[in-house]
Structure 1
């Protein structure tokens, strides 16, 4: 019986894929990869450069592009259409893979496809990968946790009070998806005596990291960014 594979590519450095993930990609008949559609209608994919790095057959690569934003209705249509294509290839006996940046179980668009595929009662195998915050800690050379310390992950925090509340139970906080609420959050962060480790576009040629929160005063924060905060 053939399978549909979900494969994590890692944060951005193509060499951070697992050996197993790369082996499956090389023998896949069809590889679906995600991308985004800008307000201007421009299509872009963060993971396509990683796939190109592996020198795969270009005819195997098939993108599905999502409109980014809080309204997920357009994305839901894309997910349904993509699943139809996945199932058609699967029923033809093809080995099909779906790739995802970072790890496919962590804030990943793949999870929406997985839910629909599972309802079809077909064989699926998931290959885990390196999370962006793991690479962030490695780049800054700081431990995320030691001994009895606790770690919390927060998405879309727009108020510093939310972080203060999280620090009641955690010693380190990973702040994901910070672009949307950054302008509201940033002044409050400046007023705190916390330690900050900022990263964006990790593992790519455009990677930028800093431990100086003041250096971000006039920086345009991209979608692929995160902040590690320690008490």
Structure 2
């Protein structure tokens, strides 16, 4: 180390001078040089907080930010040059043997400007960082609500993140602090709404100062939001476990998180335990306090009983299903087992999800624009003659058909049998939409004639939409069924 001076990064807290630590006050008062940042208007929040502790005869170094992100095409490059010049100014004092205190609002290492000087000087001079009360802690205090409790996880996010990234982080359901609102408040509010959490968010402005303001974020005028403000989503009282838990059957939609409703996202975040078929459970990101319980796809009743048993122990349990849980999925299985006397006191809720049929239909156009029937070709839980009679009746009624579970490795013949049965009622030219992995990385949507439906191209990841006599395929390949029926 080449200098004999000493560098201090000193946190002065969120705004109230009485929240400056004893150590910070002592160092500020004894420093030879006091350094603070400001915008071009010259006002410094950190210096205002520290003013009661200044001697009046100290050297003051004001570091004026040259640009903001709004008025520079090379913001990072200009700021790097600015900090290099600031480091040279401070190094001159340190080389002269002076004690240099750099003031930092809040904590020096918590989104603070001091860290850029630290990176450039700490390896050359004796350096110490003095922590300060953060704006997050101050915000929780002025709102008067616990920030985190028990095994909850606090997430701190800059409001400058892209909206989709904010939504992803917010979906976990634990407490959150969002910093740097200012000009980002509208897209932060939009992200909270998309995550189903806007009603939880508190707005805190200039916490612990004379200009302090708190309100529900949903009620704040975005034009009045300064940079020194934040959004808090504190600990949820309903995370406290009741003597009896509950089971929530959650529809995940047909694919990734963009198909998940805010209501479902919240239920997943609040759960203690996540239960489901392993493939669907892998689509849910668990937070650190949650436990996952995966199982095979042929044990629906056992899975339901397991979830209900957990709820009897006071756990909040989310049972997941792809698509909508009430359509050939877990809602029926859970409710059937829940009807047993031993589970009479366990609450069960069902949250809907976007169905695979509607997802496929949206990709093709509007093939479900008129009356339609939903039928599963799986004969694992019902005999084929029942399936065939229902296909025959629906085809005879000229209903559009949504065909679930058309084929699997152990069931390779039902698609051909269904096609031949339907051709007794439908024209060979009837359009068939084959949607595979819709919303997923291997998505494909094809439209073929009913007579050309090749069973070898259909597997368990497919869903078939078979048109009625009125279903149309346009010259652009769009499929729709008119809302009016002739006669």
Fold similarity call, TM over 0.5:
yes
Whether 2:200 is the aligned partner of 1:195: answer yes
The equivalent position to 1:97 in structure 2, one of 90, 101, 104, is 101
Rate the CA distance shift 1:217–1:93 in 2: closer, same or farther, 3 A.
Answer: closer
**Structure 2 CA distance for aligned equivalents of residues 154 and 61 of structure 1:** 33
Contact 1:6–1:104 at 8 Å: present in 2 too? yes
**Structure 2 CA distance for aligned equivalents of residues 95 and 34 of structure 1:** 18
Contact 2:19–2:133 at 8 Å: present in 1 too? yes
Q: Under a length normalisation based on structure 1, what TM-score does the superposition of the two structures give?
A: 0.87
Mapping for residues 37-186 of structure 1, pairs under 5 Å: 37=40, 42-57=41-56, 59-66=58-65, 67-69=67-69, 71-119=75-123, 121-155=124-158, 156-159=160-163, 161-186=164-189
**Structure 2 CA distance for aligned equivalents of residues 215 and 64 of structure 1:** 36
Contact 1:102–1:132 at 8 Å: present in 2 too? yes
**Offset at 1:112?**
0.5
Contact 2:32–2:59 at 8 Å: present in 1 too? yes
Contact 2:170–2:192 at 8 Å: present in 1 too? no
Rate the CA distance shift 1:218–1:64 in 2: closer, same or farther, 3 A.
Answer: closer
Greater alpha carbon shift after TM alignment, 180-189 vs 149-158:
180-189
**Structure 1 CA distance for aligned equivalents of residues 191 and 125 of structure 2:** 48
Greater alpha carbon shift after TM alignment, 22-31 vs 61-70:
61-70
Residue aligning to 2:424: none
Residue aligning to 2:214: 209
Q: Secondary structure at the match of 2:115?
A: helix
Q: Secondary structure at the match of 1:180?
A: helix
Rate the CA distance shift 1:157–1:180 in 2: closer, same or farther, 3 A.
Answer: farther
**Structure 2 CA distance for aligned equivalents of residues 29 and 59 of structure 1:** 6
Mapping for residues 10-29 of structure 1, pairs under 5 Å: 10-29=13-32
**Offset at 1:219?**
4.4
Structure showing greater Rg: 2
**Structure 2 CA distance for aligned equivalents of residues 20 and 59 of structure 1:** 18
**Structure 2 CA distance for aligned equivalents of residues 118 and 26 of structure 1:** 22
Moved segments of 4+, more than 6 Å: none
**Structure 1 CA distance for aligned equivalents of residues 114 and 60 of structure 2:** 16
**Offset at 1:158?**
4.8
Contact 2:205–2:228 at 8 Å: present in 1 too? yes
Count of residue correspondences: 224
Rate the CA distance shift 1:217–1:95 in 2: closer, same or farther, 3 A.
Answer: closer
**Offset at 1:206?**
1.4
Q: Under a length normalisation based on structure 2, what TM-score does the superposition of the two structures give?
A: 0.43
Whether 2:232 is the aligned partner of 1:228: answer yes
Q: Secondary structure at the match of 2:186?
A: helix
Rate the CA distance shift 1:128–1:227 in 2: closer, same or farther, 3 A.
Answer: same
**Offset at 1:94?**
1.1
Contact 2:7–2:101 at 8 Å: present in 1 too? yes
**Offset at 1:88?**
1.1
**Structure 1 CA distance for aligned equivalents of residues 125 and 54 of structure 2:** 29
Deviations 1:58-114 (A, max 9, x none): 542221011332713332222112211211111111111111101001111111100
Deviations 1:166-206 (A, max 9, x none): 24445111111122322233345457353111111122221
Deviations 1:113-156 (A, max 9, x none): 0000034x221011001000000000011111111111111112
Query: Which runs of no fewer than 5 residues in structure 1 stay unpaired?
Result: none
RMSD (CA atoms): 2.1
**Structure 2 CA distance for aligned equivalents of residues 117 and 31 of structure 1:** 16
- Where relative contact order (Cα < 8 A, 6+ residues apart) is larger, the structure is 1
Rate the CA distance shift 1:58–1:74 in 2: closer, same or farther, 3 A.
Answer: farther
Contact 1:150–1:169 at 8 Å: present in 2 too? no
Q: Secondary structure at the match of 2:168?
A: helix
**Structure 2 CA distance for aligned equivalents of residues 218 and 10 of structure 1:** 25
Rate the CA distance shift 1:173–1:32 in 2: closer, same or farther, 3 A.
Answer: same
Rate the CA distance shift 1:60–1:147 in 2: closer, same or farther, 3 A.
Answer: same
